[in-house]
Amino acid sequence: MDLGELQKFVENLLSDNIVYAPMKKEAKVFVSPINNFAEIDWTSELPANSFKSVFLPPEEILWKNAGKKFKTAFASKKTIALAMNVLDLQAFTLFEHVFEKDIYYQRRRQNTFVVGFTAGLPDDFRKYKIFHADYEENVLEHLIFDIFIEKQKNGNFIFFSGSEKGQKLLEENNVKDYEHIEFAGLVPESGMNPRLIANRKAVELSFNDKLWDELAEICLACGKCSVVCPTCFCFNLEDDPQLNGVERKRQWTSCFYPEFSKICGNKKELAEVKKKLYFWYYHKFVRIPEELSYYGCVSCMRCFNVCPVGINIAANLQRLAKNQQK
């Protein structure tokens, strides 16, 4: 398929869906709602934000209540997450497992098409400092998506389907030339990624490592890292009283926020910044790998990019691993 045909395909999608895709704005690429094909960035540059809010909105209403009556409204807008890079697809694959039994997530997912994209590894891919997740050869087999598009060196595009839903959409759009890839589970046949195991080991028993004290000295506990992180999915349930009843909302939160661990008597388990930092890393490198044998961090380095004091997750992992060997 050439660029013209891709444009036709995407324009068809644009006609009756809300489409989110990477878009160049000034010097950076951002995931944004788009209106036409020309807005889409096809360079494979990692967007500054992730696709997280498409699948887990920063705020959603779970129900409205008045008296004994509860009204539940599920998301129904037809949405497409278009040109999702492999790292964000990894984070999405994690969400698919974490929110497997969450009715609000699943209803939204029913109305959402996930279209991955790669233009191959960017020439300067070293800048991604891939330290945890891998670009493996058979990467697509272990990712969840409906359609995946790969840009070849000659400028043409090849298509893959990853679900029946994706196959149907391709057929409806007269795309006949595609390969179907069956999801082969989170863990490759060869076993869990050794890097995932090594990073887990480095973090798990590291609470007394000096690194955490040093980071706590500089960390502002602003929570920007967790907002931008594609695998952070902590949330609060909050009640919002309205004139005609109450809305219960699910809202993003962060383990860096002061009320995250507050219990009665104003006691906070995560009162010290050191504990917050350790909790955040533990979630990514120990708890998620233990629960799902999968990445809790996809190496996107967005946390480093937004950190006001330059906390570098890749460098910290290296240091913990080194200290652990001592």
Q: Which of residues 279-308 bind another protein (CB under 8 A)?
A: 279, 282-283, 286-287, 290-291
Residue keyed to tokens 């699948």: 55
Q: 43, 37, 36, 32: which is closest to 5 by C-alpha?
A: 37
- Shorter beta-carbon distance to another protein: residue 152 or 242: 242
**Residue 263 binding another protein, by CB under 8 A:** yes
CB of 59 or CB of 179, closer to another protein: 59
Instruction: State the Cα–Cα distance between residues 151 and 156, nearest whole angstrom.
Output: 6
Specify the residue, 279 or 304, whose C-beta has the smaller distance to another protein. Answer: 279
> Closest Cα to residue 131, out of 226, 196, 208?
196
Residue 264 touching another protein (CB under 8 A): yes
Near another protein by CB under 8 A, which window of 30-38, 118-126, 143-151, 263-271?
263-271
Q: Quick one: 101 or 176, whose CB is closer to another protein?
A: 101
Return the closest-CA partner of residue 31 out of 43, 48, 15: 48
Choice between 38 and 263, CB closer to another protein: 263
- Cβ closer to another protein: 103 or 220? 103
Considering the complex, what minimum distance in angstroms separates the CB of residue 124 from another protein?
A: 34
116 in helix, strand or coil? strand
Catalogue the E-assigned strands of 72-220: 79-84, 112-118, 147-151, 157-161, 178-180
Residue 257 as a binder of another protein (CB under 8 A): the answer is: no
Q: Which stretch in 43-51, 112-120, 213-221, 256-264 sits in contact with another protein by CB under 8 A?
A: 256-264
What gap in Å lies between CA 323 and CA 320, rounded to an integer? 5
Per the structure block, which two tokens stand in for 250?
Answer: 């699910």
**Residues 45-104 close enough to bind another protein by CB under 8 A:** 62-63, 65, 68, 70, 72, 98-99, 101-104
Q: What are phi and psi of 263, to 5 degrees?
A: -120, -175
Q: What angle do CA 33, 39, 41 make, to 5 degrees?
A: 95
CA distances from 99 to 94, 169, 187, 233, 317 (A): 9, 24, 18, 10, 28
Quick note: the x/- pattern for another protein over 189-228, rule CB under 8 A, is ----------------x-xx--------------------
- Closest distance of CB 302 from another protein, Å: 19
Q: Considering only 34-42, 122-130, 169-177, 232-240, which stretch makes contact with another protein by CB under 8 A? A: 232-240
Answer for which of 158, 213, 238, 308 binds another protein (CB under 8 A) is 238
CB of 264 to another protein, least distance (A): 5
CB-wise, 160 or 256, nearer to another protein?
Answer: 256
Q: How far is CA 299 from CA 18, 127, 248, 251, in A?
A: 28, 11, 34, 25
Tell me, by CB under 8 A, how many residues bind another protein.
44
| Distance, CA of 232 to chain centre | 8
| 255, 283 Cβ separation under 8 angstroms | yes
Residues forming contacts to another protein in the complex (CB under 8 A) are 62-63, 65, 68, 70, 72, 98-99, 101-104, 106, 205, 207-208, 233-239, 241, 245-246, 248, 250, 255, 260-265, 267, 269, 279, 282-283, 286-287, 290-291
